[in-house]
Every structure is written in structure tokens, then in C-alpha cells.
């Protein structure tokens, strides 16, 4: 692993242990998970033990030690979204993607997560793909969203543009 990018992130925070959570967040944003090599390197640079950095990385559920897909699909199963059909959305995405929550497709394109609350109860059921919310989700809209993301991913390396395009199309559906 080339540690140049990890070092840039750490240097941005002054290699200060007090900023270790922000460092981990930025490393995860860069790699879409926390690679073991990056954690060991960051621990040394921040003056922490490997155990201390792993304690942080495993305590917070927002961190992942496993690679995530290019599109991370989070389905809200909080009370409002659950009542409004969240479990049906999860079932639809499981069927469409061929994976269960917590898994990533073999091609590395999609990860599926079932989460307890995304804080958008009035918009439920909600699916968030790479931080882009998709409100009032239905099984049909979920299927079309996955189809659009899959098709768009074939012709683009710009994940943000792909997601934004899919959001626009899903919102009008």
C-alpha cells in the first residue's frame, strides 16, 4: 500500500492523536473502508498503539474493516420507515443484488446495509446511496434505482455524478 495519501490525511490534522476519529473518517472516505495497513500506519503516526486505533475503528458502527462496494445502499428500518415498508425495500434489494445486509456484491459494485434510523422519518421509507437520500422508496423504485446505478456505473467512473443522475430519475418516478 502506498501511504502517501494516508500521510496527507494525517498531516492535515497535524498528526494529533486528538483528531484520530477525523483521520479514520477521512481514510475510510478515501478507501471506502479502513485497510489494515492504513490503520497500522496511522497508529504509528498518531502515537497510538495498533490496539487503540482498532478499538476506535471497531467501536463506531460507521467504520468498516471490510471493503465496501462502489455504491453503499443503506435502507432505513427505523420505526417510521419500518411501518412504511422498509422491510419490503430490503427484500427487494436483496433479490436485485443477490446479497444480504452487511454483504458486498462479488463485482464490488454494491454493498447493502440495513440501518436503524437515518433521521429522515417524514420521507420514509428512505434509502441512502453514498450519502444521497432517496425518499418515499417503493419496491419498484428500488429496482429501477439499482438498474440505473448498474447501467450508469458501466460508463462512468464518477460515482457522484452517477448517483446524482439516479437520484434525479428516481425522484421523478
My answer on whether 80 and 162 are in the same domain is: yes
The answer on pLDDT for 167 being more than 50 is: no
Query: Structure pTM?
Result: 0.74
CA 145 from chain center: how many Å? 16
Question: Which CATH number fits the domain that encloses residue 130?
Answer: 3.40.30.10
My answer on whether 162 and 117 are in the same domain is: yes
Residue 156 — very low, low, confident or very high, per pLDDT cuts 50/70/90? Answer: low
Can you tell me the distance from the alpha carbon of 47 to that of 60, in angstroms, rounded to the nearest whole number? 20
Q: Which of 16, 32, 59 is the last residue of a domain?
A: 59
Q: What is the mean pLDDT of the chain?
A: 89
Helix (H, G, I), strand (E, B) or coil at 39: helix
Angle of helix 36-46 relative to helix 50-59, nearest 10 degrees?
120
Q: What is the pLDDT of residue 111?
A: 95
CB 113 within 8 A of CB 76: no
The 10s digit of each residue's pLDDT in 29-45 is 999 899 999 999 999 99
The answer on pLDDT for 173 being more than 80 is: no
My answer on whether 95 and 167 are in the same domain is: yes
My answer on whether 35 and 84 are in the same domain is: no
Please report whether residue 15 resides in a domain.
yes
My answer on whether 35 and 80 are in the same domain is: no
Q: What is the pLDDT of residue 131?
A: 86
Please report whether residue 111 resides in a domain.
yes
The answer on pLDDT for 108 being more than 50 is: yes
Phi-psi category of residue 95: left, alpha or beta, with phi > 0 → left and psi -120 to 50 → alpha: alpha
Q: What is the pLDDT of residue 166?
A: 45
My answer on whether 46 and 84 are in the same domain is: no
Range of the domain at 160: 71-172
Can you tell me the distance from the alpha carbon of 131 to that of 74, in angstroms, rounded to the nearest whole number? 9
Amino acid at each position: 500500500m502506498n501511504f502517501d495519501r494516508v500521510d496527507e490525511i494525517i498531516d492535515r490534522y497535524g498528526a494529533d492523536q486528538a483528531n484520530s476519529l477525523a483521520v479514520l473518517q477521512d481514510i475510510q472516505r478515501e478507501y471506502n473502508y479502513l485497510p489494515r495497513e492504513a490503520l497500522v500506519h496511522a497508529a504509528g503516526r498518531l502515537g497510538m498503539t495498533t490496539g487503540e486505533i482498532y478499538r476506535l475503528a471497531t467501536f463506531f458502527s460507521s467504520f468498516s474493516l471490510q471493503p465496501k462496494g462502489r455504491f453503499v445502499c443503506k435502507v432505513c428500518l427505523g420505526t417510521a420507515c419500518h411501518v412504511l415498508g422498509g422491510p419490503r425495500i430490503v427484500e427487494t434489494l436483496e433479490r436485485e443484488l443477490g446479497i444480504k445486509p452487511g454483504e458486498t456484491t462479488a463485482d464490488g459494485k454494491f454493498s447493502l446495509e440495513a440501518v436503524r434510523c437515518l433521521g429522515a422519518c417524514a420521507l420514509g421509507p428512505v434509502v441512502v446511496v453514498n450519502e444521497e437520500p432517496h425518499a418515499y422508496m417503493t419496491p419498484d423504485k428500488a429496482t429501477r434505482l439499482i438498474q440505473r446505478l448498474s447501467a450508469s456505473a458501466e460508463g462512468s467512473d464518477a460515482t457522484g455524478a452517477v448517483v446524482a443522475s439516479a437520484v434525479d430519475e428516481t425522484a421523478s418516478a
